Amino acid sequence: MALPLRARGLLANAPLLYQQALGGAGISNTAFLCPAGALYSSVPVRSACSKPPTAGLKAFPFPGSVPAPCRVQSLFHSSHCSPSAFSQTTILSRIASFFSPHCPLPRVYHTSPAMHKPVPDSHSSDGHLPRYFDYLVVGGGSGGLASARRAAELGARTAVVESSKLGGTCIMWNAAIHSEYIHDHEDYGFETSAIKFTWKVIKEKRDAYVSRLNDIYQNNLQKAQIEIIRGQANFTSDSEPTVEVNGQKYIAPHILIATGGKPSMPSDAEVPGASLGITSDGFFQLTDLPRRSVVVGAGYIAIEIVGILSALGSKASLLIRQDKVLRTFDSMISSNCTEELENAGVEVWKYAQVKSVKKSATGLEINVQCSMPGRKPTVRTIQDVDCLLWAIGRDPNTEDLGLENLGLELDEKGHIVVDEFQNTSRKGVYAVGDVCGRALLTPVAIAAGRKLSHRLFEGQEDSKLDYDNIPTVVFSHPPIGTVGLTEEEAVTAKGRENVKVYTTSFSPMYHAVTRRKTKCVMKLVCVGKEEKVVGLHMQGLGCDEMLQGFSVAIKMGATKKDFDNTVAIHPTSSEELVTLR
């Protein structure tokens, strides 16, 4: 007779039974399984379910092993006893009679039997015993929350450690889009002279929206019975990976680091007066729209923010080190985006570097050195600046975590080094998201976190995120959509003779009657005789929304012929991609 345990692949419930649940059977002891195949009961046992302890001490061994190793170390800690060998004499039918299929059984999954060793003398700094979970997530951002919720759905007892807010978002870009469209309304016959923009209104609504999201995140965790541990996590030097928060130690066989990243900013030693500026984090705290703004950086964050500021009415300058923005993107996108910024009124300072910043009676004075190739460097000053914003990159949030106690391998920038399965150099410790320094996108962190949970708690040993062909959108003006290899990457990988490129440039139908014009540029990168599409790059109205479907096609291995055989939708911008010649 088999035990009525609900199993899923390598997973099995840890049958922690309570007197209340088994009162009808007349059982007064608490029972649980150990990896040796013995059923234990002990007094007193305090579990995560906070049910009253039961009385009695008894052991019910049974032949064979449990369907999957179950971590019971926390139960032994709580009952102040250690696992020991018992003879396998009790028949299965006797054991089975103690179980009820209706009992709410906590689940603990996927740990090695080797972990079930004598209980170490490991106390927290305040003398309390450690608390145990199946899955401990350090960081309450999108990746960590997604992984935690998926693990809880799969039955793992999960906790999230976070010292700040859960999640976060921005809706400022939509306000900027409306501003651009308002300028076109007159060309469509609408009177717009009385329309004005108020920064305070959109900021208050944005803050309220983010606050609601934070509440939703917290409610979702509570519904999933995920414990939220508030405070700064710090890894200790204990023999097994242990996290300490506010003096309390927490141990789990699986610990995920998903602490994300933070905006980079030069020190005052590197650039005198640099601290007078803000980063993208400070941008969302601005109480008024800056009259004069300067953004430093050429990446997607700099492009998005300077676009928002300019579209909403700020006189904006962008300082870049080379002659183009988004230099890691396809060359067509890099050139076109730089051109569109200038056409939109953004003052782009090329080959520029901030040398110093100081405060004056009318704002900030920013001294900028421009070093054009073949010319003598010149220094110019931008005066009366209300807002200097640094958008020069992001650093991983790995400081003050005590990672040195784990001996984790880090790269030269402090990112945690992981393999294709998100494993770090320390067994049982994983990392996803910006802290890894690869594909710094929220959906990537979410997908990687969920894949990890399926591997750890559902037995999907090959579950991992495929980092190839990840679609990326930059919310510039107009937006950019890109997926797959750039033309330059394809040539490097396959050779120029094996790469064929199809491009187009046009004005979207929306601009047929408007004085303001933006271009739409598109490129397909194909390789081999079959012309497999390995890259798609575009910038123009609607490119952000149209990218998702084309990304599916490219992920599935679509060829140029597949695109050609698809009937176009007219009149749309997307039809250009299936009519390229």
pLDDT digits (tens, 9 = 90+) for 63-101: 333 333 333 333 333 333 333 322 233 333 333 443 334
358 in the same domain as 249: no
Taking residues 407-426, report their average pLDDT: 97
570 is catalytic: yes
Confirm if 253 and 115 have CB atoms less than 8 A apart: yes
464 within a domain of the structure (yes/no): no
What's the whole-model pTM score?
0.78
115 in the same domain as 75: yes
386 in the same domain as 494: no
Split at pLDDT 50, 70, 90, the class of 167 is confident
285 within a domain of the structure (yes/no): yes
Element at 12 (helix H, strand E):
strand 11-12
Taking residues 281-296, report their average pLDDT: 95
Q: Which of 65-69, 121-125, 331-335 has the lowest mean pLDDT?
A: 65-69
210 within a domain of the structure (yes/no): yes
d(CA 433, CA 415): 10
146 in the same domain as 75: no
Domain assignment of residue 215, given as a range:
131-168+206-263+395-457
70 within a domain of the structure (yes/no): yes
400 in the same domain as 256: yes
Instruction: Using DSSP, state whether 265 is helix, strand or coil.
Output: coil
177 within a domain of the structure (yes/no): no
User: Mean pLDDT across the chain, nearest whole number?
Assistant: 82
d(CA 295, CA 292): 10
d(CA 251, CA 241): 7
95 in the same domain as 135: no
550 in the same domain as 574: yes
DSSP per residue over 42-94, as a string?
-S----TT-PPP----EEEE-SS--SS----HHHHHHHT---------S-HHH
d(CA 236, CA 404): 9
Active site residue: 110, 128, 454, 570, which one?
570
Tell me 382's DSSP state: E
239 within a domain of the structure (yes/no): yes
Give the chain's domain count.
4
pLDDT digits (tens, 9 = 90+) for 366-385: 999 999 999 999 999 999 99
Element at 490 (helix H, strand E):
helix 487-494
| Residue 234 phi, psi (nearest 5) | -145, 125
CATH code for the domain in which residue 335 is found: 3.50.50.60
363 within a domain of the structure (yes/no): yes
189 within a domain of the structure (yes/no): no
Q: Between the CA of residue 156 and those of 21, 152, 160, 227, 459, what are the distances in Å?
A: 21, 5, 12, 12, 13
